[in-house]
Amino acid sequence: MQSSPTPTHCPYCALQCGMNLTPAPGGGAEVTERADFPVNRGALCGKGRSAPAVLSSRVRLTSPLVRSGDGTLVPAGWEEALDRIAGALARIRAQHGPDACGVFGGGGLTNEKAYALGKFARVVLGTSQIDYNGRFCMSSAAAAVTRAFGLDRGLPFPLADIPRTGCVILVGSNPAETMPPFLRYFTELRENGGTLVVVDPRRTRTAEQADLHLAPRPGTDLALALGLLHLVIAEGRTDEAYIAQRTTGWEEARAAAMAYWPEYVERVTGVPVPQLREAVRMFCEPASAMVLTARGPEQQSKGTDTVGAWINLCLATGRAGRPLSGYGCLTGQGNGQGGREHGQKADQLPGYRKLTDPAARRHVAGVWGVDPDSLPGPGRSAYELLDALGTDIRALLLMGSNPVVSAPRAAHVEQRLRSLDFLAVCDVVLSETAALADVVLPVTQWAEETGTVTSLEGRVLLRRRALAPPDGVRSDLEVLHELAARLGVEKGFPTDPEEVFDELRRASAGGPADYSGITYRELARENGVFWPCPAGAEPDDPEDACLDVYAQDPAGDEDLDDPEPPGTPRLFLDRFATEDGRARFAPVSHRPGAEEPDEEYPLLLTTGRVVAQYQSGAQTRRVDELNAAAPGPFVELHPRLAARLGAAEGDLLAVVSRRGRAVAPARITAGIRPDTLFMPFHWPGEGRVNTVTNPALDPVSRMPEFKVCAVRAEVVETAADGRPARAGSAGSSPRPR
């Protein structure tokens, strides 16, 4: 008899597209369309359609692995593996103190797992040394939004508002490759008479759909935003009434922007003055408009200020906290939003509370049943934590991340991981990082466990278990439960995700990211609930309890949805989440990247993704269909640069920085600036672009500067005849698994 489909969500990007999953007669599962979910309306990209392939025991881990006496990883039983981890953590903590034990999480973990991991680090290990790979995702936008609005949620409005605004400026994002179902929102925007402006140094598939494409020199997005604000002021397009009523700090921000006259901005960015003026016209003439940013402006050593400059543009024109207008950030990882809200970030407690806030410490400690003074303070950010491995951090528990491929200056990070006294990794596959571990634990995947995630809209969703996991596989919650018990904490780490979520609700209550009015029962009935959603008199009935704490009642406004989805779909319509309810301008100025081109390294490198692979590729590189579409890395360069280098299509190019060298075939296109190279970051080995990237950190967000560094490019010649090596010939990188 055919099993009934389970409604669930894709395991990959932050759209969290709805899908149905049905057990297949011969094993595994089949994905079918789920048209009722409003975000994707049934549409899926190739990664979503092929997601069940990673559930196969052919490509995944199904037994714990331990490092044997001869240095190889060999299968072991769960008791032995858990005993080894607990014993090593206890020994190192006793010898060197709690901060000698580090914890590194991931933006793909469910809310329940992220919450339990942060609690485990602080309550069981007592360590401050915990962070996660989401620090590499949108931490600069989070810092800038918190500074400006008082509350960070990727999009402060639902995706459904995008097609109904008048203009969208999309900065440093390529959803045609990163989240293809999102593109329909831009198609509908243009069908409705709106316009799309794309800011990107490459003419991407997304930029090809734009009404206007601005191609700035990498690392100059901040100057570009300041130049647009200068023109807004000079042309009298500011909304003075809005500025006076709803903002503070305008005079300082205005004075900073006036230094960026159009001709100067053209020299800095390479964007012609007529295009600057046209972008301002397109943004300011409609009644509503939005700015959306992604990794392009954020993954810079000045990312927080860069995002702040784009927020200033919205505030100066009255395009924030109003219907169909605002600033938003397109989160990348599947639970990038929820992953940073509930405690696996170095400086945060559940509910997006600050670890340094005494009231927050008292509240969370009360839920956890511990003394507030026992909670450690803030620890290192992600790269700083990885950089300290093998020095004062002697052991690391890593869950849901693959920094050997994804971290900047990756060869150095790999060396730091190898220098640890002890490394334990929980993963579904033997990633490049797991291959270095002393113990590897095989854990359940998205389709084999129930849990919640929070999409880029701030929509909390229930991912339902559709399949039983293979024998020998346990959940991350079971791992933390067992390790906590072995380390002397018998209670407080349940294995039932709903029980964990109920505790998370209590811990988040009253915090900026308040989930207290959300229950599994409500999530099972609805297509998600938007946070904040505080509990009312009857916390088990969040449909009545959720309060629009940062939004006025939109009833009767024909521009907004009716009926409204549960929770708070739109933030800031009445006031911002600051003490006085006003948004804050940021007086920012442009500064060069941490590494500018010079005679030895005359080019700029920027990185990104391709449609058929995801993040470090640990899972997607194991799917035949996706590898056929994107079998390996490449170097994208302009024809003029290729001619100068003597490179032809397919020749192997070495991209060299002060940190190392990556080699991949040339892909020649006129759709990139002549001074810029592009490489995707999904692959290990010789083509690992993050060997080259710069770990220079934003001073506020601690985000590394992935998006711009100085490099040179060289054609790789064969030893025999001096001719350029071609892709697939000697010297090329091997095909991924």
The domain that contains 248 carries what CATH number? 3.40.228.10
Same domain? For 101 and 169 the reply is no
Give the per-residue pLDDT at 657: 98
Task: Give, for 146, the enclosing helix (H) or strand (E).
Answer: helix 139-149
Give the per-residue pLDDT at 723: 67
Which one has a higher pLDDT value, 566 or 507?
507
In a domain, 435, yes or no: yes
In a domain, 41, yes or no: yes
Give the per-residue pLDDT at 539: 38
In a domain, 548, yes or no: no
Give the per-residue pLDDT at 615: 93
pLDDT category at 563 given cuts 50, 70, 90 is: low
Q: What amino acid is encoded at 262 in this protein?
A: P
Give the per-residue pLDDT at 446: 94
Residue 328 CB burial class (10 angstroms; 0-12, 13-18, ≥19) = buried
Beta bridge partners of 679: 607
Same domain? For 678 and 614 the reply is yes
pLDDT category at 721 given cuts 50, 70, 90 is: low
Same domain? For 348 and 434 the reply is yes
pTM: 0.94
Percent above pLDDT 70 for the chain: 94
Total count of residues recorded for the chain: 737
Range of the domain at 25: 6-55
pLDDT digits (tens, 9 = 90+) for 360-416: 999 999 999 999 999 999 999 999 999 999 999 999 999 999 999 999 999 999 999
Same domain? For 130 and 185 the reply is no
How distant, in Å, are the alpha carbons of 112, 477, 613 from that of 494? Answer: 10, 7, 34
Query: Prior bond to 532 cis, omega within 30?
Result: yes
Residue 724 has pLDDT above 90, yes or no: no
Give the per-residue pLDDT at 526: 86
Question: Is 461:16 a contact under the CB 8 Å cutoff?
Answer: yes
Residue 590 has pLDDT above 70, yes or no: yes
In a domain, 244, yes or no: yes
Query: Which residues 6+ apart lie within 8 Å of 719 measured at CB?
Result: none
Task: Write down the number of H helices and E strands in the chain.
Answer: 24, 30
How distant, in Å, are the alpha carbons of 37, 499, 675, 706 from that of 603? Answer: 44, 53, 6, 15
Q: What is the mean pLDDT of residues 166-180?
A: 97
Question: Is 115:342 a contact under the CB 8 Å cutoff?
Answer: yes
User: Reduced to 3 states, what is the DSSP secondary structure of residue 353?
Assistant: strand
Same domain? For 176 and 246 the reply is yes
Tell me what the pLDDT averaged over the chain comes to. Answer: 93
Give the per-residue pLDDT at 734: 33
Question: Is 418:404 a contact under the CB 8 Å cutoff?
Answer: no
Same domain? For 91 and 161 the reply is no
The domain that contains 49 carries what CATH number? 2.20.25
Report CA Rg, the chain. 25
Same domain? For 103 and 187 the reply is no
Cα–Cα distance measured from residue 406 to residue 470, given in angstroms and rounded to the nearest whole number: 28
| Domain boundary residue, one of 308, 329, 350 | 329
pLDDT digits (tens, 9 = 90+) for 475-529: 999 999 999 999 999 999 999 999 999 999 999 999 999 999 999 999 998 899 9
Give the per-residue pLDDT at 144: 98
pLDDT digits (tens, 9 = 90+) for 333-364: 889 999 999 999 999 999 999 999 999 999 99
pLDDT digits (tens, 9 = 90+) for 69-91: 999 999 999 999 999 999 999 99
Cα–Cα distance measured from residue 292 to residue 283, given in angstroms and rounded to the nearest whole number: 12
Could you count the other beta carbons within 10 Å of the beta carbon of residue 1? 3
User: Reduced to 3 states, what is the DSSP secondary structure of residue 445?
Assistant: coil
Cα–Cα distance measured from residue 298 to residue 707, given in angstroms and rounded to the nearest whole number: 8
pLDDT digits (tens, 9 = 90+) for 306-318: 999 999 999 999 9
In a domain, 584, yes or no: no
Residue 209 has pLDDT above 80, yes or no: yes
Rounded to 10°, the helix 476-486/78-96 angle is: 50
| Domain boundary residue, one of 298, 329, 360 | 329
Cα–Cα distance measured from residue 96 to residue 98, given in angstroms and rounded to the nearest whole number: 7
Same domain? For 342 and 209 the reply is no
In a domain, 593, yes or no: no
Same domain? For 126 and 178 the reply is no
Residue with tokens 């064969």: 718
Give the per-residue pLDDT at 733: 36
Phi-psi group of 224: left, alpha or beta (phi > 0 → left; psi -120 to 50 → alpha; rest → beta):
alpha
The domain that contains 412 carries what CATH number? 3.40.50.740
271, two tokens: 């964007």
Give the per-residue pLDDT at 732: 36
Question: Is 85:424 a contact under the CB 8 Å cutoff?
Answer: yes
Give the per-residue pLDDT at 553: 38
Residue 537 has pLDDT above 60, yes or no: no
Number of domains in the chain: 4
| Domain boundary residue, one of 304, 329, 354 | 329
Residue 660 has pLDDT above 60, yes or no: yes
In a domain, 126, yes or no: yes
Cα–Cα distance measured from residue 104 to residue 101, given in angstroms and rounded to the nearest whole number: 10
Same domain? For 105 and 199 the reply is no
How far, rounded to the nearest angstrom, does the alpha carbon of residue 392 sit from its chain's CA centroid?
Answer: 28
The domain that contains 683 carries what CATH number? 2.40.40.20
Same domain? For 371 and 494 the reply is yes
Question: Is 441:81 a contact under the CB 8 Å cutoff?
Answer: yes
In a domain, 705, yes or no: yes
Same domain? For 495 and 351 the reply is yes
